[in-house]
Amino acid sequence: MKVVIVGGVAGGASAAARIRRLDEKAEIVVFERSGYVSYANCGLPYYIGGVIEDPEDLTLQTPESFLERFRITMKVHHAVTAIHPERKTVSVKNLETLEEFEESYDKLLLSPGAKPTQPNLPGAGIDRLFTLRTVEDTFKIREFIDREHPKSVVLAGGGFIGLELAENLRELGMDVTIVQRLKQLMNPFDPDMAVFIHAKMREKGVKLMLGYSVEGFEATAGSVSVLLEGNPALEADMVVLAIGVTPESELAKSAGLQLGLKGSIVVNERMETSMPDIYAVGDAVQIKHSVTGLDTLLALAGPANKQGRIAADNICGGDSRYHGGQGSSIIKVFDMTAATTGINEQTAEKAGIACDKVYLSPANHAGYYPGAQNMVIKVVFEKGSGRILGAQIVGYAGVDKRIDVLATAIHARMTAFDLKELDLAYAPPYSSAKDPVNMAGFLIENVLHGLLKQFFYEDVAGLPKDGSVTLLDVRTPEEFEMGHINGFSNIPVDELRQHISELAKGKPVYVICQSGIRSYLACRILTQNGFTCYNFSGGYGFYRAQAEEVLTAQQSYPCGMEKGTSR
């Protein structure tokens, strides 16, 4: 059997190695357009920033090591230009010699990945304008920085690459501005969780222009003008386009393969395309979202590697199935960590799933053990069943651990009732006896059983101020004085029972504290004394973060940047 693989990075390299492990006699040929195979895409920004010092650390394997260990022929600088399904060959061009030839196959695997989205904007090809996809792109940016010593950069786009580059370039001492058409960074997060990422970026000196559209570029003497729709231009020493990726599917389209979302390649659970003996994996393919069941795109390394393994199994006569992905991802934001899995609240609503949510702010480990740090967790769950649909966490130590537990729970279709039963490891340096994941389960269970009624940030503005409801802040007087919501009166939770007779029983009570725990205790006291009580989910700390973001967004230039410059 002869297998030809187009693309030698995540999915293609995984498939090639798996095929060899299953079939020692198969002939395996991989064509890779770039000069590198099996490289770590996710590490590229960290080489630019100098965190990864040795360029060889970016490549997990080389063509030579693949040949030596696996007897796999890796042909770099070779572009497959056409597929001929009728005669089971591909046209190939050697990008070094310009020689063109045809290669036959018994099985063909497409793993071309995705390319940086490059809108047709004026000036898109000028010098000092970069994209980041390959190792060569990385070296080009790093060499430019080492040679030109740029002091300012505009990053067009606020996704994974944009944020990772922002951090690394800021750590090099550069003045960094992110321009994003959407009014938030990191679209997998709901806006109310993205505000914590915004705050950290601003704290570290990254300027954010959210809700601004780039409409072109102009080369100037030693710099680039970034043209903004309806706003003055920005001047920077360099620009990186990081506005997302588009499936690399021209090859599949020309061959007549069925295409789906954004031109992606349609595959079944076996990673088979619409044509016999042609498989496809990775960022170029359309998959099912495992939570919604809807078609989606997930440009992530984890799914690509799994799909490569599954395609390899089936190429070798097996029957492996890919049941979809749920978008689990994590990102370092300077000293903070942000992670998400499953679907967010916006996606659930668009998919027509009746959902609810809880917020909590637990510490990463026992509070009495030194160094405890709080994280903010949002869990989205299905009304009625309590099935966990998605989770988002921002914080410091311990975020990765909790998001992985919640990702596993979502994959297993667990409910809140299952979360509270999970037997998780505990020692004071690592967790609490009631782990944050357990706490999320307890909280959702209380909501589902009617023990807890909630109100949210978006409800606060509509609360009556005419005395028809009671607005109560149960923090200490000192906390209250440091900041509170207008219209709320202060009775500390520990004094609530003594003052309960002062509250009018016929009025609903809306209660808030710093994190949501004391206000929940207050609600239990009030409810059992005949009051209808609502607890603010997330607490005043969460409220303040939202309010500060709104205030910042109302300013013409939200980062306090002078018009017409990024310096």
| Catalytic annotation, residues | 42
Which of 520, 509, 510, 514 has its CA nearest to residue 542?
A: 514
* Whole-angstrom Cα Rg for the chain: 27
Cα–Cα distance between 292 and 327 in angstroms, integer?
A: 12
Residue 68: Cβ within 10 Å count: 11
Residues 237/173, Cβ–Cβ less than 8 Å = no
Residue with tokens 């060899």: 20
Query: Counting Cβ atoms within 10 Å, is residue 218 exposed (0-12), middle (13-18) or buried (19+)?
Result: middle
Helices (H), 232-332: 250-254, 301-315
Find out whether 106 and 5 touch, Cβ atoms under 8 Å. Answer: no
Element (H, E) at 382: strand 376-382
Helix (H, G, I), strand (E, B) or coil at 278: strand
Residue 557 sits at φ, ψ, to 5 deg, of: -115, 95
Which residues, other chains included, contact 448 with Cβ-Cβ below 8 Å and sequence gap of 6+?
Answer: 384, 386, 416
Whose CA is closest to 13, among 53, 47, 62? 62
| Nearest CA among 289, 287, 281, 266 for reference residue 411 | 289
What are the C-alpha distances in Å from 26 to residues 2, 70, 106?
6, 11, 10
C-alpha 435/C-alpha 321 separation (Å) is 34
Q: Identify whether the C-beta of residue 107 lies closer than 8 Å to the C-beta of residue 23.
A: no
Amino acid of residue 458: E
With contact defined as beta carbons under 8 Å apart, do 9 and 113 qualify?
A: yes
Relative orientation angle of helices 10-22 and 63-70, to the nearest 10 degrees: 20
The DSSP call for residue 352 is: T
Residue 376 in contact with residue 394, Cβ under 8 Å? Answer: yes
Q: Taking each helix axis as running N to C, give the angle between helix 10-22 and helix 301-315, from 0 to 180 degrees, rounded to the nearest 10.
A: 30
226/236 Cα distance (integer angstroms): 8
Q: Is 354 left (phi over 0), alpha (psi -120 to 50) or beta?
A: beta
Residue 177: both structure tokens together: 């501005």
